[in-house]
Amino acid sequence: MGSNGRSQQMHYTRIDLSQDIRVQVIAFLNQSLASTLDLKTQVKQAHWNVKGMDFYQLHSLFDEMASELEEFVDMVAERVTALGGMAMGTARIAASRSILPEFPFDILEGQDFVTALADRYAMYAKEVREAIDSTNDLGDADTADLYTEISRAIDKRLWFLEAHLQTSVETVSLNGTADSPVEVSKSKKARAKK
Ligand SMILES: [Fe+2]
């Protein structure tokens, strides 16, 4: 289990969580540290390279998002050390452990950058939300709370990103399936032609 940090050295701490629990929580935190670092560098990549008529607002938004992720990197890493573990946060570790795919290098326009980031924020949001439950189940309410704080902020950023992409309205029926009125009106037109 070395790859997720579970075989690492632990420091003695007076904290009232057992070493077994702390080792498991630290494994989640170090996994998140890798993904958070990776996401931050990808958002910076977008900040530097985005082009098009929305350049300046996206350039500024992406910088704000990267700064927020930098805070989360620190919060997660320092929770590891507070629990007596070693924060594993080098670029090499982040690249090898992150759950995210590499950022695309063949895009130029703002919308493609927003889509690439929305895809990655959604994956990261899922990892963080799962970690809320996992650390809660382990009995570490403080780490679960840290994850909840991150999760709420990431969901908000996902909204910011998706608001750029939501150009048509989708209605969701009560059985949970989504359909687009655009598609509905197209099929109505097709029926009218018959
Ligand atoms: Fe900058």
Distance 66 CA to ligand 1 centre (A): 10
pLDDT at residue 174 in the model: 75
Confidence grade of residue 176 (pLDDT, cut at 50, 70, 90) = low
Distance 43 CA to ligand 1 centre (A): 11
Amino acid at 146: L
Distance 53 CA to ligand 1 centre (A): 18
Distance 69 CA to ligand 1 centre (A): 15
pTM value? Answer: 0.86
Domain map (residue ranges) of the chain: 2-169
For 130-139, the pLDDT digits (tens) are 999 999 999 9
Distance 170 CA to ligand 1 centre (A): 35
Distance 63 CA to ligand 1 centre (A): 6
Average pLDDT score over the chain: 90
Residue 183 in this model has a pLDDT that exceeds 90 = no
Distance 93 CA to ligand 1 centre (A): 24
Residue 143 in this model has a pLDDT that exceeds 60 = yes
pLDDT at residue 177 in the model: 66
Helix H or strand E segment including 39: helix 19-49
**9 to each of 15, 159, 190, how far by Cα in Å?**
17, 40, 67
pLDDT at residue 9 in the model: 83
The highest-level CATH class for domain 2-169 is mainly alpha
**178 to each of 96, 161, 175, 183, 189, how far by Cα in Å?**
36, 20, 9, 11, 20
Confidence grade of residue 173 (pLDDT, cut at 50, 70, 90) = confident
Residue 17: name the closest of 130, 131, 129, 135 by CA: 135
How far is residue 29's CA from residue 144's CA, in Å, rounded to a whole number?
10
The answer to whether 143 and 79 have CB atoms below 8 angstroms apart is yes
On the CB side of 30, CA atoms within 13 Å amount to 28
